[in-house]
Amino acid sequence: PLKTVPVDVTNQESVDKAVERVTKELGSTGKLWAIVNNAGVFATYGPDDWLKSSEYEEALGVNTLGVIRVSQAFRSLLKKSKGRVVTIASVAGRLAVSTCGPYSVSKFAVVAYMDVIRNELRPFGVTCHVLEPGIFRTTLIEEKAYEKRLNFSFNRCSDAVKNEYGREFVDD
């Protein structure tokens, strides 16, 4: 049966508690057949000129380091079962998207990580899979949310950067 375990992928203690819970539920005879890395953030829009390194850190912290943290934590259980690691990435992990730098960078990185562990875990019978969905209509990408994030990024820019881009850039 499929069971989900909520976990804060940015917090090692939370990940460790999830491993303890799963190990306890499996008992001595149970096997963990798969983990699904599905956490993700897409919080900022705008050209790199408008962004801060902390926004890249946030996206990398969840979208990349979260996948690494969870995959490493459950690796020994997956080796025992010859299970699989499934990671939800994005088409933005193959095609860099303008005004989506932090998201694209984090998704490229997670795809690279999955390629690395796919090769390393193959001898142990563990398979690694990346799902790269395209754009789906969710509240994440609805026009008002997009405009709000874009305006937030633009409004905090220096006057020089605002003049360089112009209000038309935001409104187009």
- CA–CA separation, 65 vs 48, rounded Å? 21
- CA–CA separation, 170 vs 154, rounded Å? 8
Q: Judge whether 60 and 107 are in contact, CB under 8 Å.
A: no
119 located within any domain: yes
166 located within any domain: no
156 located within any domain: no
- Which residues are known to be catalytic? 103
pLDDT at 2 (0 to 100):
81
**Mean pLDDT for all residues in the chain:** 92
- CA–CA separation, 25 vs 148, rounded Å? 43
Instruction: Quickly state the pLDDT bin for 148 (edges 50, 70, 90).
Output: confident
pLDDT at 34 (0 to 100):
96
Q: Judge whether 167 and 126 are in contact, CB under 8 Å.
A: no
pLDDT at 118 (0 to 100):
98
**Mean pLDDT confidence for 17-46:** 92
What does the DSSP assignment read for 49-117? Answer: GG--HHHHHHHIIIIIHHHHHHHHHHHHHHHHHT-EEEEE--GGGTS--TTBHHHHHHHHHHHHHHHHH
Q: For the ranges 32-36, 43-47, 80-84, which has the lowest average pLDDT?
A: 43-47
Question: What is the torsion angle, in degrees rounded to the nearest 10, for the CA atoms of residue 125, residue 77, residue 4 and residue 90?
Answer: -50
pLDDT at 141 (0 to 100):
67
CATH of the domain at 121: 3.40.50.720
What is the tally of structural domains in the chain? Answer: 1
82 located within any domain: yes
pLDDT per residue as tens digits for the range 72-119: 999 999 999 999 999 999 988 888 988 899 999 999 999 999 999 999
Q: Name the token pair of 141.
A: 């990408």
Q: For the ranges 26-30, 47-51, 104-108, 142-146, which has the lowest average pLDDT?
A: 142-146
pLDDT at 139 (0 to 100):
65
**Which range of residues forms the domain containing residue 111?**
12-135
- CA–CA separation, 147 vs 90, rounded Å? 21
172 located within any domain: no
pLDDT at 136 over 80: no
Instruction: Specify the pTM.
Output: 0.90
**Mean pLDDT confidence for 54-72:** 97
